[in-house]
Structure 1
Amino acid sequence: MSAATPAERAFAAAMPALFVVLWSTGFLGAKLGLPYIEPFTFLALRMLIAALLLLVVALLTGAPWPRQPVFVARIALAGLLNQAGYLGGVFYAVGEGMPAGIVALIVGVQPLLTAALAGPLLGERIGRTQWAGLALGLLGVALVIAGRESGGGRITPAGLAAALAALLTITYGTLWQKRHCAGMDLRSGGVVQYGVSALALGALAWLTETRLIHWSGELAFALGWLVLVLSVGAVGLLYTLIRRGEAARVASLFYLTPAVTALMAWALFDERLGGVALAGMLLTAAAVWLANRPVRR
């Protein structure tokens, strides 16, 4: 195997930061698109377009396809967990009226939950420094949310259940992807994952929503952004990071997304950031640094 070029090494080093920035823009796309379309309908359309786009890419580039039915099933389950389960839960909770900050805080437990399960499920060793970083990150996320959430909204049993479902599915989905889908080609595997997610979300939309779409420039831009930048770009980076690193350390990157999203919302929508939120951002940055330090043997 030939050694990596300087450009390849630089890109590999920049991948975590690039993933955090791209993943954080999902909030902006949802804010632009949801006034014109219902959550499950929006997500089903997004998954369908992403599946078709990756199908074209896979066919044009000669991507290898999974041949064993059991491997296809494992890839499909990862897609249902990481796409339909996680995004469906988050969007439904927000649609139920739960404050976005509360939903983000619930899902923000993911790095700690991933670390707790990575040992027994994947055999990964989590050191004291990593545990300290993960706990510090949870505190940082809480401070970011407290410093930017304006209040309002309501917490319903259905919304709370959806947020918890999103937490559990993205946590187990990350571990499942790491353990069972290491050899997945991102092009053909993406077709399978987005295809089954489109079917699942489409079924939910058919059963629970009107499926009416009010097309607008904002919706078209949001849909295109979420498909190309999130479903193709950010998810591809996430799976690459999972393949290359330990699940708990990759999950720690999710601690940075509330802070980055808050900065973007401040720049684009003039949402104010108080001192508490700024302190939380510093804590999350320190937490990710601690969580990604090498474990001492």
Structure 2
Amino acid sequence: MSLPAGWLRSMPVVFVLIWSTGFIVARYGMPQAPPFKFLAIRFGLAVLCFGVWARLARAAWPVGRAQWAHLAVTGVLMHAGYLGGVWAAVKLGMGAGLVALLVGLQPVLTAVWVASRGGQVAPRQWAGLALGFGGLALVVWQKLGHGEVGSHNLALALFALASITVGTLYQKRYLEPCAVPTANCVQNLAALLATLPLALALALESEAVRWNADFVGAMAWSVLVLTLGGSSLLYLMIQRGAATAVTSLLYLVPPTTALMAWGLFAEPITVFTLAGTALTAFGVALVVRPPATTKRSTP
């Protein structure tokens, strides 16, 4: 599937804006449902939406058991593992700022893995990753409270970090290009099958779902915008770009989320937030900027 050049250039900006609303939605939805029950409903609705999209677009389904299996693995890692770890960690008392900081380590892990496998990570990109992490830490450090970290929620946050990192690398390595609606349909189905038993069995899920306006609004945004929009863009960008460059965009999510929280909930914006946002943006620019080409001199 070919896309216009202008749309390709705007994809990272749109992705960051969409992905940044994840913690905003959690603020609305978390009090209304336990994490895995919320996610199980979200994945189920996403399967229906992507199925309808695939039918209307007459999109081709993946060919061969191997591609179905690879899609299932990435669905479990990048949807069930990542979102389940983040939401459960927040439910057990970890602040959203600390979760964002830990998951924000993903670009560093990705770059280290690429380098260890013989990939080319330029010194400029390492500098950009360091600046990005520094800016990220500067934005969220003031949100880190005392006594909010325990062995259980820390393990869940680190599990989310590992899931999104491994899932991104796995998708780039093993998945062949597939139609967006059918690929996401398979991924969300695998995530649903992995999440549903947890929603039915865990003591963490003892609360009932409150079917009110906040829950319906959070669920609608999660399915229609975050899953159909954000996950589709992430899938496309991983297929079309280098893993290190794509994951470095996640450095921009916590600062953008802070700006959204300021506009929606009047959460204070400090000089540290502004400085960290600028530093992070500059670091990401260093990572994603294509290498300079050497021009041949004219005789």
Q: Same fold (TM over 0.5)?
A: yes
CA distance in 1, matches of 2:121, 2:291: 7
Q: Report the alpha carbon displacement of residue 28 of structure 1 after superposing the two structures with TM.
A: 1.2
How far does the alpha carbon of each residue in 1:207-233 deviate from its partner, in whole angstroms, 9 at most, with x for none? Answer: 111261111111101100010101010
CA distance in 2, matches of 1:90, 1:23: 14
Q: TM-score, normalised by structure 1?
A: 0.94
Amino acid in the other structure paired with 1:252 = S
Amino acid in the other structure paired with 2:167 = G
Which residue is equivalent to 1:136? 131
Which residue is equivalent to 1:191? 185
Which residue is equivalent to 1:223? 219
CA distance in 2, matches of 1:207, 1:224: 25
Q: Report the alpha carbon displacement of residue 66 of structure 1 after superposing the two structures with TM.
A: 1.6
Residue number among 142, 147, 151 corresponding to 1:157 in the alignment: 151
1:109 aligns with 2:105: yes
1:22 aligns with 2:22: no
Contact 2:110 2:165 in 1 (8 A): yes
Amino acid in the other structure paired with 2:60 = P
Contact 1:131 1:291 in 2 (8 A): yes
1:85 aligns with 2:85: no
SS of 1:47 mapped into structure 2: helix
Q: Which runs of 4+ in 1 moved over 4 A?
A: none
Amino acid in the other structure paired with 2:140 = I
Unpaired runs of 5+ residues, structure 2, are 294-299
Bigger mean CA deviation after superposition, 35-44 or 62-71: 62-71
Contact 2:67 2:176 in 1 (8 A): no
CA distance in 1, matches of 2:265, 2:259: 10
1:127 aligns with 2:119: no
Q: Report the alpha carbon displacement of residue 296 of structure 1 after superposing the two structures with TM.
A: 5.6
CA distance in 2, matches of 1:294, 1:63: 32
- RMSD over aligned Cα atoms: 1.7
Written as runs of structure 1 = structure 2, the 5 A alignment for 1:44-123 is 44-121=40-117
Q: Report the alpha carbon displacement of residue 146 of structure 1 after superposing the two structures with TM.
A: 2.0
CA distance in 1, matches of 2:240, 2:201: 39
Which residue is equivalent to 2:254? 258
CA distance in 2, matches of 1:115, 1:150: 26
CA distance in 1, matches of 2:286, 2:16: 17
Which residue is equivalent to 2:264? 268
SS of 1:126 mapped into structure 2: coil
Which residue is equivalent to 1:203? 197
CA distance in 1, matches of 2:14, 2:76: 24
CA distance in 1, matches of 2:61, 2:114: 28
Bigger mean CA deviation after superposition, 55-64 or 43-52: 55-64
Q: Report the alpha carbon displacement of residue 103 of structure 1 after superposing the two structures with TM.
A: 1.2
CA distance in 2, matches of 1:15, 1:69: 30
Amino acid in the other structure paired with 1:85 = G
Q: Report the alpha carbon displacement of residue 120 of structure 1 after superposing the two structures with TM.
A: 4.3
1:277 aligns with 2:269: no
Bigger mean CA deviation after superposition, 123-132 or 70-79: 123-132
Contact 2:251 2:280 in 1 (8 A): yes
CA distance in 2, matches of 1:294, 1:214: 48
Q: TM-score, normalised by structure 2?
A: 0.93
Unpaired runs of 5+ residues, structure 1, are none
Contact 2:172 2:238 in 1 (8 A): yes
CA distance in 2, matches of 1:205, 1:168: 21
SS of 1:179 mapped into structure 2: helix
Q: Report the alpha carbon displacement of residue 184 of structure 1 after superposing the two structures with TM.
A: 2.2
CA distance in 1, matches of 2:138, 2:163: 24
Contact 2:23 2:96 in 1 (8 A): no
Contact 1:79 1:194 in 2 (8 A): yes
Amino acid in the other structure paired with 1:169 = S
